[in-house]
Amino acid sequence: MKTLLQVILFLFISNSFAQNSPFEKWSELAEKDPSLQPEYGNIQKNQDQLENDQQFLDDLLNEYDGDSKKASKKMTELGFQYLYEKQDFITAMRRFNQAFLVDSDNADIYYGYGSIYFNLGELDKAREQYDKGLKIDSKHSEILTDYGTTYMGDFYQNFDTDRKLAFQKLELAKSYLDKSLKIDDKNSNTVYKLSIVNMYLDNCKEAWKYLKKAKQMKNPNVTETYEKELITKCGNS
């Protein structure tokens, strides 16, 4: 079971950055550079910094005809591109912060911040940012799915040392994934994760239902290892 959980979490959490630059190193960099902290660390900026921010805002808003929401959305899209396509966490955080400068009332900014911490393995810090995003948009299905996934991570981390706590975390994972699915039933990652969660909760019928749906949706993360584990635990569908 532990081996399978390691495989599952590897699929859900990109560790390419974490292997080379752990959170401790990121923290050292961020301590010296506020642009690597969510919301710039809420520092009191000096005059030069304020002027640079204003120049950036003027140039960006001019490009988007003064539409701050559109400009902020573009910056978050760039942030996610740097995060997942280039594994460039530094540039990604800077783009999310630039989006924050333009329009702080954009839930995707906090989804971005949380995703960086999520990929660094800092699940509590990820949830702090996800909470901020959900205060803006309580029906942000992607945040809800990743929020649930953080509790899957907690399940794995506690499985060998505190089985009761581990399963409490798994129930939390299920609650967030269920909520996400009600909002968006087209996200195959949500569906696949619900299969996994239900298997470990001994909800075999649900586990098979969601696995079949994930396969129909051609989710690329579905593995033979998981399906074999599901057969072992629950029997054939």
User: Does residue 74 register a pLDDT over 60?
Assistant: yes
Calculate mean pLDDT across residues 73-95.
95
Stretch 75-85: mean pLDDT = 96
Instruction: List, for residues 132-158, the tens digit of each pLDDT value.
Output: 999 999 999 999 999 999 999 999 999
Is the pLDDT score of 201 beyond 90? yes
Do domains 1-138 and 139-237 share one topology? The answer is: yes
* More reliable by pLDDT, 49 or 5: 49
The yes-or-no verdict on residue 15 having pLDDT over 90 is: no
pLDDT band at residue 1 under the 50/70/90 scheme: very low
Distance (Å, rounded) from C-alpha 41 to C-alpha 33? 9
Would you state the pLDDT for residue 122? 93
24 or 168, which is more confident = 168
Under 8 Å CB-to-CB from 13, ≥6 apart: which residues? 118, 119, 121, 149, 153
Q: Are 216 and 223 in contact (CB under 8 A)?
A: no
**What whole-number distance in Å separates Cα of residue 3 and Cα of residue 182?**
31
pLDDT of 89 strictly over 70? yes
Mean pLDDT over residues 42-50, rounded? 91
Whole-structure pTM value: 0.90
pLDDT at 90 over 50: yes
Q: Would you say residue 5 has pLDDT above 70? A: no
Could you tell me which residues come within 8 angstroms of residue 187 by beta carbon, excluding any fewer than 6 positions away? 141, 142, 145, 180, 181
Confidence of residue 9 (pLDDT cuts 50, 70, 90): low
- Examine the pLDDT at 6 and tell me if it is beyond 60: no
| DSSP sequence for 81-142 | IIIIIS--HHHHHHHHHHHHHH-S--HHHHHHHHHHHHHTT-HHHHHHHHHHHHHH-TT-HH
What does residue 161 show for φ and ψ, rounded to 5 degrees?
A: -105, -30
Query: What class does CATH assign to 1-138?
Result: mainly alpha
pLDDT tens column, 172-194: 999 999 999 999 999 999 999 99
Domain limits, the chain: 1-138, 139-237
Specify whether domain 139-237 bears CATH 2.60.120.10: no
